[in-house]
Amino acid sequence: MKLQKALLSLLAVCLLSITVTLLTQAYWQEQYYRFQSKCNSSDSSEHLVAREVESSQRKCKSPAAHTQSITLFVRVAATVPELRRRFYCVFLRLSVLFWPASLGKTVAVLDQENEEEHAFASTVLTHMRQHFPDRTFEVLYEPLPKDPTVLDFANPPRSPGYNRQLYSSFFIDLYTNDDIIAWMDADSGFASPVTNESIFNGTKVRVLGYDCTLTIGWVQAWARTTEKALGLPFLADFMTYFPVYIYRDTFTHCREHILRRFNTSNFEEAFKKFYRREFISPVSVVLSYAWYFERERYDWNLKLCTDLTEYNKRFPSEHIISPEHVVETLLIPQTAFHVQHAQGVRQFVSNSYCLSQEAAGNDAEKCSNRTASLITNFVLFNHDVQRLGHPAPPCPKNREQTCLQLLERNYNQIGLEIKQKTRKLDWKNVEIVEKLAKELKLQCDVLK
């Protein structure tokens, strides 16, 4: 009897390990194929993705294990000291605090042709392996477009380096197999804990858009270039919040749409036709595409300063915005900001941290001297914390009770997750990154 049991469990273990091995192999084969096939899918159109994935974690997971896994994506340009500083002090320091490792891996993409970038990436990978072994961090390299005039041309709206970031934004899907991409701008950082509710409404991915910035010249230019790219009107400004959550295949489909529209298989050629003289916001192009072709996959939260009937005049009748897509005040607090524009971001960070610890019933040392209050957290209801374009206070006077309740619910949920140990929120992580930055002679500002 005992022997039989032992044999049975041995058999079970064997089967399990065979399954795991097969799944792992399948995953790597798929990964390899994906990169392979992207590399030669058409001679000049597609982007080359460096085939070797450098990762801080060597574990393989089966694809089934990460349905709905989310990749936190950032495009890094590491040759400029200020950008290296931003990477450590803003992106990394705040993501190790507020982005739960359980949501998925982080992917950083750097310039392939530049040795300095490889050296920087190797340092970051070492740091992540040593200090954050529970986080998967990958580096991938992006080659230059084949045609140099894609980035470098006469009277460009932006520098060639900046143009490269813009161009590469259309290829983010090539750097991960995860279903969803959390796209961080190079100058955005987290300001409060990322929750499932801030990413999903039910099964739909939340997106936040804004029309109030359409009074600004460069946003009007974004609207014109979006329409040039898609052949359909710009829906709204989607550069006002981060991370922007987008299904990976929405990028693929958007690129295919643009290729068809310009009757080419070469995206470089298409890009040159819609981006030349005026500014572009790739995120607004991709999400405008999603509005026309994949509306039901997303939960739309549009804040409009224009009267809805008036605003709708620009859209084909089957694509007009309904009241259900419009929100007066956000229903979920923001989790990240454009740091450059948010002078007070440091203060939001520690407030959010202390409110979370308080909700978990913890006396965090960091919070001993302060009185964190929900009111100071109202700023998280702003669609946009840029200096321009937010005429109204984040939570209007007549909605203050609602805002307080929403914040309370948010922090209670976070507190509960901390108590149940499904969420880690550890200020030590911030200090580790500060120390690493210092070793690299990068000076992080103090988070009060």
Residues that bind ligand NAG (CB under 6 A): 36-37, 40-41, 68, 196, 201, 263, 299, 324, 331-332, 365-366, 368-369, 417, 422
CB of 299 to ligand NAG, least distance (A): 6
CB of 144 to ligand NAG, least distance (A): 21
Crossing angle of helices 282-293/248-261, nearest 10°? 90
DSSP string, 104-122: --EEEEEETT-HHHHHHHH
Q: Residue 368 or 401: which CB sits closer to ligand NAG?
A: 368
Q: How far apart are CA 333 and CA 410, in angstroms?
A: 8
CB of 332 to ligand NAG, least distance (A): 5
CB of 302 to ligand NAG, least distance (A): 12
The full 3-state SS of 355-407, as one line of letters, equals HHHHHCCCCCHHHCCCCCCHHHHHHHHCCCCCCCCCCCCCCCHHHHHHHHHHH
Q: Cα separations (Å) of 126 from 21, 52, 55, 129? A: 27, 17, 10, 5
Q: Residue 207 or 214: which CB sits closer to ligand NAG?
A: 207
CB of 349 to ligand NAG, least distance (A): 14
Beta-carbon contacts of residue 63 (< 8 Å; ≥ 6 apart) = 23, 26, 27, 30, 177
User: ∠ CA 368-373-374 to the nearest 5 degrees?
Assistant: 140
Q: Cα separations (Å) of 104 from 4, 249, 261, 279, 285? A: 41, 17, 34, 32, 25
List, in sequence order, every residue forming a beta bridge with 61; answer none if it has no partner: none
User: Measuring CA to CA, which residue among 182, 159, 165, 180 is closest to residue 76?
Assistant: 165
DSSP string, 329-350: S-SS---EEEGGG-TTHHHHHH
Q: Residue 237 or 417: which CB sits closer to ligand NAG?
A: 417
Q: How far apart are CA 282 and CA 288, in angstroms?
A: 10
CB of 18 to ligand NAG, least distance (A): 26
CB of 327 to ligand NAG, least distance (A): 8
User: Measuring CA to CA, which residue among 165, 190, 195 is closest to residue 90?
Assistant: 190
Q: Residue 204 or 314: which CB sits closer to ligand NAG?
A: 204
Beta strand extents in 92-217 (DSSP E only): 106-111, 137-142, 180-184, 188-190, 200-201, 204-210
CB of 422 to ligand NAG, least distance (A): 5
Q: Residue 76 or 355: which CB sits closer to ligand NAG?
A: 355
Q: Residue 120 or 274: which CB sits closer to ligand NAG?
A: 274
Q: Residue 369 or 371: which CB sits closer to ligand NAG?
A: 369
Q: Residue 178 or 211: which CB sits closer to ligand NAG?
A: 178
Task: Report the length, in residues, of the chain.
Answer: 448
Q: Residue 201 or 347: which CB sits closer to ligand NAG?
A: 201
Q: Residue 71 or 165: which CB sits closer to ligand NAG?
A: 71
CB of 282 to ligand NAG, least distance (A): 25
**C-beta separation of 377 from 407 below 8 A:** yes
Q: How far apart are CA 372 and CA 231, in angstroms?
A: 48
CB of 374 to ligand NAG, least distance (A): 18
User: Measuring CA to CA, which residue among 65, 135, 60 is closest to residue 99?
Assistant: 135
Q: Residue 111 or 384: which CB sits closer to ligand NAG?
A: 384
CB neighbours (10 Å) of residue 404? 16
CB of 368 to ligand NAG, least distance (A): 5
DSSP string, 394-441: SS-GGGHHHHHHHHHHHHHHHHHHHHTTS----HHHHHHHHHHHHHTT
Q: Residue 223 or 418: which CB sits closer to ligand NAG?
A: 418
CB of 291 to ligand NAG, least distance (A): 15
User: Measuring CA to CA, which residue among 337, 330, 250 is closest to residue 290?
Assistant: 250
